[in-house]
Chains A and B, each alone.
Chain A
Amino acid sequence: MRRRPRLLENGQTDPRDTDGLSVFDSYRVDRPTCMNDVNCCFGLATLHVGTLLDHGLTVIRDPQDFRKLLITNAPWENPNNPDEERLADTIAESARIVERGRHRRSN
């Protein structure tokens, strides 16, 4: 889920997912590359952009990384709000799991 910004011990703020929930664009990255981009993961799921738009979400190209997209108004983690929780459930239910199982980055 989309992580809130966090205040670090040195007083600076870690923006984390402030700009939106970051996802890979499947047209630009293949599955192995996507899974090797993180140190460890427990699977890979796909989201359909059209379905996200139907649910009122906004999807833009990540200006920092052309391989990625940002869902700018995705619900925050632990939103404490029924509408946001329901929207997070809807996104999760629309996802399709394409790879299942623990994966570690190969060096």
Chain B
Amino acid sequence: MPVAECPRWNRAGHAKEVSKRPIQQRHAWHGNEVFVKTKRSFAQFLREKASRISRESLVIQPRIHIPISVSIQRLLDLLAEKGKDDHGAVDPTQFAFKTALEFVLYAEHILRRETRSAPVVDSEGGIRITWRHGDRQIKLICPGASSAPIYIYQSSSVGSSVLNQNVTSRTLAGRLSWLLNGDQSEQPSE
């Protein structure tokens, strides 16, 4: 129980004896006051407050528009599905999603431009992302588990190749640069 000193004054303006007595402390919280006399009433107040906030949040929370690339938006859309169907997982694993998101984010950051890709979920919850431009295409394969290799498949009318070692965002950005700009230095080996 909070305790406060309450001075009393006589008519002459002199202070009377100072007594200490318990008072009920009141808190002003967004216009509503609550007695903190008991834990139960305070807990009830918090419950009511929380339920009111949650009800209002459904109504008044504005739709947030964050400028993100088409590739990232399509990756996020993969999370809309849950569970399994006749052919396996329909939502990506956490490992696959994290890997794919990091690769695409950093690659677009390096390229300084957004890209348009088509991600799909495989039967193990891995993610395959395809970028196409004319007869060229790049695929980033992010498996559902860390035990399987991450690799980049690159193909064109000249040939096709797979990069499955030292796969980084920078290498993906290099391949995407070849895809989008036709850099001669990144032609497939075959």
B86 at interface, CB cutoff 8 A: yes
Q: Say whether B162 contacts A81, CB under 8 Å.
A: yes
- Residues of B near A38 (CB, < 8 A) are 85-87
Which of A39, A78, A83, A89 has the largest count of B CB atoms less than 10 A from its CB?
A78
If A3-B123, A78-B128, A85-B153 touch, whether A39 touches B160 (CB-CB below 8 Å) is no
Name B151's contact: one of A1, A77, A80 (CB within 8 Å): A80
Q: Say whether A82 contacts B88, CB under 8 Å.
A: no
CA distance A69 to B141 in the complex (A): 28
CA distance A83 to B126 in the complex (A): 21
- Residues of A near B148 (CB, < 8 A) are 78
- Residues of A near B190 (CB, < 8 A) are 82
A53 at interface, CB cutoff 8 A: no
- Residues of B near A89 (CB, < 8 A) are 137, 155
B114 at interface, CB cutoff 8 A: no
Q: Say whether B86 contacts A82, CB under 8 Å.
A: no
A95 at interface, CB cutoff 8 A: no
Q: Interface digits, B150-166 against A, CB 8 Å rule (1 contact, 0 not)?
A: 01010100011110100
A31 at interface, CB cutoff 8 A: no
Range class of the B interface residue count: 20 to 34
Range class of the A interface residue count: 10 to 19
Q: Interface digits, B128-142 against A, CB 8 Å rule (1 contact, 0 not)?
A: 100000000101010
Nearest CB in chain B to that of A2: its residue: B123
A96 at interface, CB cutoff 8 A: no
B143 at interface, CB cutoff 8 A: yes
Q: Which chain A residues in 70-107 approach chain B with CB under 8 Å?
A: 77-78, 80-83, 85-86, 89
Q: Say whether A1 contacts B122, CB under 8 Å.
A: yes
Name B123's contact: one of A41, A77, A85 (CB within 8 Å): A77
B182 at interface, CB cutoff 8 A: no
A40 at interface, CB cutoff 8 A: yes
- Residues of A near B161 (CB, < 8 A) are 82
CA distance A47 to B63 in the complex (A): 43
Q: Say whether A86 contacts B155, CB under 8 Å.
A: yes
CA distance A105 to B9 in the complex (A): 85
- Residues of A near B160 (CB, < 8 A) are 82-83, 85-86
Q: Say whether A80 contacts B162, CB under 8 Å.
A: yes
Q: Say whether A85 contacts B149, CB under 8 Å.
A: no
- Residues of B near A3 (CB, < 8 A) are 87-88, 123
What is the interface of chain B, defined by CB distance below 8 A to chain A? 85-88, 122-124, 126, 128, 137, 139, 141, 143, 148-149, 151, 153, 155, 159-162, 164, 190
Known: A39-B86, A78-B143. 14 other contacts (CB 8 A): A1-B122, A38-B85, A38-B86, A77-B123, A78-B128, A78-B148, A80-B141, A80-B164, A82-B155, A82-B162, A83-B160, A85-B155, A85-B160, A85-B162
